[in-house]
Every structure is written in C-alpha cells, then in structure tokens.
Amino acid sequence: SQYTRGTVTAFAPFDARADAEALRKAMKGMGTDEETVLTILTTRNNAQRQEIASAFKTLFGRDLVDDLKSELTGKFETLMVSLMRPAYIFDAHALKHAIKGAGTNEKVLTEILASRTPAEVQNIKQVYQQEYEANLEDKITGETSGHFQRLLVVLLQANRDPDAGVDEALVEQDAQVLFRAGELKWGTDEEKFITILGTRSVSHLRRVFDKYMTISGFQIEETIDRETSGDLEKLLLAVVKCVRSVPAYFAETLYYSMKGAGTDDDTLIRVMVSRSEVDLLDIRREFRKNFAKSLYQMIQKDTSGDYRKALLLLCGGDDD
C-alpha cells in the first residue's frame, strides 16, 4: 500500500512495440528527437520500460540502453539511462559506483541504506550478488571503517524489528540508554546509538524520540549533532529522519541538491528516479511545506534543456 504515491504509474493504453518503433525512429539517422525519447521514458513505469527494451531488441536487434548512450549526452543521458534500470538494479548500481575506485561516496551509502525498508535491502543485496558476483557487505566493509562501518553493517542485516505493538517499558529504557550514552556521558557510547537506531522498529523509535525529548529536553537530532561527527553523524541523522518521515528526508535531500551555487545532479537524478514510482507525491508535499516553494519551481529554476523537461515530467506537476 505504501507504493501508491508515485508520480509515474502504468501508462494506458500501452503498446510496447509502438513505443519501441517511435524510439528507434527518434534516434535513427542524423540528429535525435529528444522530445520523443523523454516523453516516452518519463511517462511509462519501469515495468513498461523493460517491455519496451525487450520489444526494441526483438524488432531491431539493438540494445535500447546502448542506443540511448550513443545518441544522448550529459545529464540528460544519465537520467534516461537511469530510468531504464529496474529499481533494485538501480540501487545496486548506485552502491557499486559509490564504493568503486579511489574514494568512497559515503553520501550514496547513507542515503540508500538509511531510507530503504528491510525487504528492499534484502533485495538489493541479492541483486548485487547476481549482477556483480560480489557480496555487498564485504565490499562496503572493505571501503569503510569505524562506527560508520558498523552502523552500515547493522542496516545491511535488514533485521529491524517488525512494527508490532509498542512496549512502553522498552521505550522508556531505550530513551534512558540513549540519554546516558550521549548527553550524560563524558565522550559518547556510539555503540548504543548504533544498536538502538539500527534495530528497533520504526513505530518504537518514534516513541523513543518523543520520550527522549521529555527526559533530556533535547531532540535526538540535537544530541547526535553534538555527540558525533563526520560520516557517522550524517548516517545517524539520516536514519532518524527516515524513521520520522522518509518523504520529508527526501524532500530535504532534493532541496539541498539544488540549493546555492551549482547543482548536485547525481543526487537529483538518483532521488527523482528512485522515488518516482514510490512516494514522490508525498515528497512534493513535504517539500512545499518545509521550503516555501514547490519542487517543480526549484527544478525549473535550477536545470535547463531536455534534462529539465524530463525532470519536470517526472515531478508530475506544481504544488503552488
């Protein structure tokens, strides 16, 4: 039921062959008709895009993704190719690129592992193994260290408690443990934060945050901010924000990808593509509420050309 808040839904009436033919025509010969490409790919859902790719190969003996890569360029190309990846392959691919080569992109590890459900994480691990013949956890532990690594490993176990009834005694106990591990202690017992934030159910943690505020007089975010730093701090905060509201977390992520000078296009593309069939309508609502402008307007102001047209179609409308 949670997946009915996307801006991209199944297109009807759908004809994979007709779409494949239109795409081939748009990319054949001199010059490319980008408008046709972006209109088809942003208005079909992922399952339909896979059918189009299959029809494309059947009709023309060509690989649609290869053709997109050779005909398009820049951010527009990245966006169109991203739309062609099934969800779990998309996440697995993003994680692989975050840990390959020199330097690790901690931001991508944080965003994906803090925001996906345990079931989604299990699927990502499986797909990663199939696609790359490698164990995702081994790859991540090889590229990270310290408490940041430990919390990533906890999240990768995907063993968060199921959302059953909330035990008030345990809520009180967890809130006290966090208070003693942070504000009341000289130094911080990071392990307590990692265990509680990484394993308790979402509804339990929401109650813990309220109780923590009552006990300490601080929001849990303020304590994390004061008591931890660097990548661990960012990951703990992302987990807390996603427990409170995944759409609000992504609204904030999108806002900061475009705020100020320059745009973090990788983040903008990753979030717009990965949430377009999940909760982008909710993200838009949170964006409007928290940043006094619509996501649509910010994309319009911050991007240009076919890239902008495609992002605005994915966005699915203005909220003003």
How far is residue 149 from each of residues 86, 156, 180, 221, 231, measured CA to CA in Å? 27, 10, 23, 20, 9
Q: For the packed helices 74-83 and 34-43, what is the interaxial angle rounded to 10 degrees? A: 30
- 40-58: average pLDDT: 98
pLDDT bin (cut points 50, 70, 90) of residue 185 is: confident
What pLDDT is attached to residue 178?
Answer: 96
- 279-298: average pLDDT: 97
What pLDDT is attached to residue 3?
Answer: 54
- What is the percentage of the chain residues whose pLDDT exceeds 90? 91
pLDDT bin (cut points 50, 70, 90) of residue 320 is: confident
Q: What is the token pair recorded at 10?
A: 């199944």
Rounded Cα–Cα distance for residues 10 and 29 (Å)? 30
Fill in the amino acid letter for 320: D
Residue 247 burial by CB count (10 A; 0-12/13-18/19+): exposed, middle or buried? buried
Fill in the amino acid letter for 261: A
Residue 227 pLDDT more than 60? yes
- 2-17: average pLDDT: 89
Rounded Cα–Cα distance for residues 233 and 28 (Å)? 50
Q: What is the token pair recorded at 183?
A: 């504000």
- 187-205: average pLDDT: 94
Fill in the amino acid letter for 77: E
Average pLDDT along the chain: 95
What pLDDT is attached to residue 103?
Answer: 82
Answer yes or no: are the C-beta atoms of 42 and 314 closer than 8 Å: yes
What pLDDT is attached to residue 29?
Answer: 86
Q: Tell whether pTM > 0.85.
A: yes
Look at 94-103, 117-126, 138-147 and tell me which has the smallest mean pLDDT.
94-103
- What is the percentage of the chain residues whose pLDDT exceeds 70? 99
- 46-68: average pLDDT: 98
Residue 101 pLDDT more than 90? no
Domains of the chain: 16-87 (1.10.220.10), 89-157 (1.10.220.10), 168-244 (1.10.220.10), 246-315 (1.10.220.10)
- 248-273: average pLDDT: 96
What pLDDT is attached to residue 306?
Answer: 98
Peptide bond between residue 162 and the one before it cis (omega within 30 degrees of 0): no
What pLDDT is attached to residue 1?
Answer: 41
- Alpha helical stretches, state H, the chain: 16-27, 34-43, 46-60, 64-71, 74-83, 87-98, 106-115, 118-132, 136-143, 146-157, 168-181, 190-199, 202-216, 220-227, 230-244, 246-258, 265-275, 280-291, 295-302, 305-315
pLDDT bin (cut points 50, 70, 90) of residue 258 is: very high
